């Protein structure tokens, strides 16, 4: 090994460990920290953020990267060290362009804004958040301006989450997807609604947990290297490749919420737990993009967890754990968890309309950043869009523009497209896995997931950040990102479920 590589890796390990330590501070803040700890915790997170930034942007790293250019050229593209150098270079260049002052300003503002939102949201008080959001927008623009040469000011923000993507590519992709989705949403809208009342029953938390744990163990989530806790909002976090934790929230009147959020977070966690152990402590030891990460969570949540085959095996187990379901036929349950219906809240939306929620947010992010929409007009624009997209009235901004934490945690731009990119990728990857392992559906019907997990681990997980999202998709599926498998999946599933058929003109093109 090039001697500089050793020094570089040691330095990168410190940066990594500072990031991981900050993640533990955050995890504790949302799980177990008593209220009295909040003030100091904010200070401690700011300190760790500063130290990580200093470590990430240290002049040594720039010098070593220069010294290693020659060495990098000699390495095969897909060698680990070449990947490490690519990712480190990218991260160093990004981090060094942003002044530390702006980073700290962002961090402090994010705390203040989040704090205000926790009160403004329940009160439906959008006006209170206007100045906060204006400041976030200003800071986000200043952040983006550190990366001149963009087409859209949103590009640097999108690129930071989904490397290689920009506003124009996402916009085109989303326009195509929207055109393909609308006929499906309309066709379903003309059909009788699925009955979902069976899900609204009180199931004790312990039973919900036991069942969800049984499922994710079978998925392959490793509790020796993880754990499941309760938080207000479910999430996945990690403190090393050996410690990848998930959280969920139990709703006592809706068993599906904790269940699917647990499967979702377990999907994220399987990605991180599946990264090659030798990447530990390096920038390769993370999922490669927001989109690919979301493809893993959505794949396990939806393509597996809401499939008929899956429930053929698990429904009797659920009934054994939750006696209230003993009189509910599998088919009723299956239709309930796959009910498509326009709704106000993104995180409760079904697979089909979910993407329209994302597109709305993505469009507004561009409108805000590119100056076509003023923050003060956002809540009204939101209501208008929900009216036109879903035919629904937003009764309260709590369930409108205030609903998602992202913007109010000072993230505007680049934070929503990954959800829909993930949906698109999830189907493309699942289809490719099925081509390589035709036995996957049979396995799923027996509560086994070895082939699917193995294929994902081999083709997606183990690489961590070594390859970009498009490289992963190309290598794993043999072609570029495409909405076709996703639309095939949706029509294939919801066509029979709702007794609707794809217009011939559309299916003919695929």
Q: Give the residue numbers marked as catalytic.
A: 265
Q: Which residue among 7, 105, 125, 222 contacts a second copy (CB under 8 A)?
A: 222
Q: Which residue among 47, 182, 206, 345 contacts a second copy (CB under 8 A)?
A: 47
- Give min distance, CB of 34 to a second copy, in A: 5
**Residues contacting 234, CB < 8 A, separation 6+:** 246, 247, 248, 249, 261, 262, 264, 265
CA distance linking residue 26 with residue 472, whole number of Å: 30
**CB-nearer residue toward a second copy: 178 or 225:** 225
Alpha helix ranges (H) inside 322-416: 330-336, 354-369, 378-390, 405-408
- Give min distance, CB of 3 to a second copy, in A: 22
240 belongs to the binding site for a second copy (CB under 8 A): yes
Q: Which residue among 4, 5, 7, 25 contacts a second copy (CB under 8 A)?
A: 25
- Give min distance, CB of 409 to a second copy, in A: 22
| Secondary structure element (H or E) that encloses residue 421, with its range | helix 417-436
CA distance linking residue 90 with residue 86, whole number of Å: 6
| Phi and psi, residue 247, nearest 5° | -135, 160
3 belongs to the binding site for a second copy (CB under 8 A): no
**Contact (Cβ atoms closer than 8 angstroms) between residue 16 and residue 283:** yes
Burial class (CB in 10 A: 0-12, 13-18, 19+), 275: buried
Q: Which of 201, 203, 296 is nearest to 246 (CA)?
A: 296
Q: Which residue among 4, 7, 9, 21 contacts a second copy (CB under 8 A)?
A: 21
- Give min distance, CB of 247 to a second copy, in A: 12
Cα angle at 468 between 451 and 415, to 5 degrees? Answer: 100
**Contact (Cβ atoms closer than 8 angstroms) between residue 283 and residue 12:** yes
Q: Which residue among 2, 4, 9, 13 contacts a second copy (CB under 8 A)?
A: 13
Residues 261 to 280 in contact with a second copy, rule: CB under 8 A: 280
190 belongs to the binding site for a second copy (CB under 8 A): no
506 belongs to the binding site for a second copy (CB under 8 A): no
- Give min distance, CB of 285 to a second copy, in A: 10
20 belongs to the binding site for a second copy (CB under 8 A): yes
60 belongs to the binding site for a second copy (CB under 8 A): no
Q: Which residue among 1, 3, 39, 509 contacts a second copy (CB under 8 A)?
A: 39
197 φψ region: left (φ > 0), alpha (ψ -120 to 50), beta (else)? alpha
CA distance linking residue 278 with residue 413, whole number of Å: 33
| Phi and psi, residue 230, nearest 5° | -100, 135
Place of tokens 């497209």: 417
Cα angle at 423 between 113 and 188, to 5 degrees? Answer: 105
- Give the binding range for a second copy (CB under 8 A) out of 19-27, 141-149, 170-178, 362-370: 19-27
Per-residue binding string, a second copy, 277-316, x by CB under 8 A, is ---xx-----------------------------------
**CB-nearer residue toward a second copy: 48 or 359:** 48
Q: Which of 174, 171, 170 is nearest to 182 (CA)?
A: 174
**CB-nearer residue toward a second copy: 90 or 225:** 225
- Give min distance, CB of 323 to a second copy, in A: 24
**CB-nearer residue toward a second copy: 22 or 359:** 22
CA distance linking residue 411 with residue 365, whole number of Å: 10
CA distance linking residue 70 with residue 64, whole number of Å: 11
DSSP string, 47-114: HHHHHHHHHHT-HHHHHHHHHTHHHHHHS-TTSHHHHHHHHHHHHHHHHHHS-HHHHHHHHHHHHHHH
**CB-nearer residue toward a second copy: 222 or 448:** 222
Length of the chain: 510
- Give min distance, CB of 70 to a second copy, in A: 31
**CB-nearer residue toward a second copy: 34 or 192:** 34
- Give the binding range for a second copy (CB under 8 A) out of 235-243, 259-267, 351-359, 382-390: 235-243
**CB-nearer residue toward a second copy: 132 or 244:** 244
Alpha helix ranges (H) inside 322-353: 330-336
Q: Which residue among 63, 223, 384, 496 contacts a second copy (CB under 8 A)?
A: 223
Name the site residues for a second copy (rule: CB under 8 A): 13-14, 17-18, 20-21, 24-25, 28, 32-41, 43-44, 47-48, 51, 222-227, 229, 239-243, 245, 280-281
């Amino acid at each position: 090994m090039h001697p500089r590589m050793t020094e570089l890796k040691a330095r990168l390990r410190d940066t990594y460990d500072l990031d991981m330590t900050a993640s533990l501070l955050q995890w504790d803040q949302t799980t177990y920290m008593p209220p009295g700890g909040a003030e100091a915790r904010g200070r401690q997170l700011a300190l760790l953020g500063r130290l990580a930034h200093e470590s990430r942007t240290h002049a040594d790293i720039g010098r070593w990267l220069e010294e290693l250019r020659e060495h990098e050229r000699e390495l095969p593209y897909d060698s680990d060290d070449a990947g490490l150098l690519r990712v480190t270079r990218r991260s160093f260049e990004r981090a060094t362009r942003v002044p530390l002052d702006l980073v700290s300003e962002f961090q402090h503002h994010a705390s203040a804004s989040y704090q205000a939102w926790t009160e403004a949201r329940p009160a439906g008080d959008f006006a209170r958040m206007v100045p906060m959001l204006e400041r976030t927008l200003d800071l986000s623009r200043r952040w983006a301006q550190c990366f001149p040469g963009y087409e859209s000011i949103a590009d640097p923000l999108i690129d930071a989450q989904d490397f290689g993507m920009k506003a124009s590519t996402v916009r085109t992709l989303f326009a195509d997807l929207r055109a393909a989705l609308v006929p499906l949403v309309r066709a379903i809208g003309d059909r009788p609604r699925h009955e979902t009342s069976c899900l609204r029953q009180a199931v004790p938390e312990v039973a919900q947990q036991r069942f969800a744990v049984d499922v994710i163990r079978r998925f392959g989530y490793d509790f020796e290297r993880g754990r499941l806790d309760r938080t207000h909002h479910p999430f996945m976090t990690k403190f090393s490749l050996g410690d990848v934790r998930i959280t969920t929230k139990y709703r006592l009147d809706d068993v599906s919420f904790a269940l699917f959020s647990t499967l979702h977070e377990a999907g994220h966690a399987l990605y991180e737990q599946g990264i090659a152990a030798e990447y530990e402590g390096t920038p390769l030891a993370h999922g490669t993009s927001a989109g690919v990460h979301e493809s893993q969570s959505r794949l396990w949540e939806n393509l597996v967890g809401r499939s008929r085959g899956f429930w053929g095996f698990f429904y009797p187990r659920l009934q054994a754990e939750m006696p209230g379901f003993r009189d509910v036929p599998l088919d009723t349950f299956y239709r309930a968890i796959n009910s498509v219906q326009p709704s106000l809240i993104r995180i409760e939306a079904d697979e089909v309309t979910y993407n329209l929620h994302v597109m709305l947010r993505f469009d507004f992010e561009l409108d805000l950043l590119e100056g076509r929409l003023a923050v003060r007009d956002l809540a009204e624009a939101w209501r208008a869009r929900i009216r036109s997209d879903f035919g629904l009235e937003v009764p309260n901004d709590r369930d409108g523009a205030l609903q998602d934490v992202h913007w109010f945690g000072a993230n505007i731009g680049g934070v929503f497209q990954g959800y829909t990119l993930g949906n698109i990728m999830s189907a493309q990857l699942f289809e490719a896995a099925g081509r390589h392992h035709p036995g996957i559906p049979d396995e799923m019907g027996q509560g086994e997931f070895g082939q699917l997990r193995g294929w994902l681990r081999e083709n997606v997980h183990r690489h961590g950040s070594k390859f970009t999202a498009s490289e992963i998709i190309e290598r794993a599926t043999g072609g570029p990102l495409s909405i076709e498998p996703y639309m095939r999946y949706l029509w294939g599933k919801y066509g029979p479920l709702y007794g609707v058929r794809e217009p011939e003109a559309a299916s003919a093109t695929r």
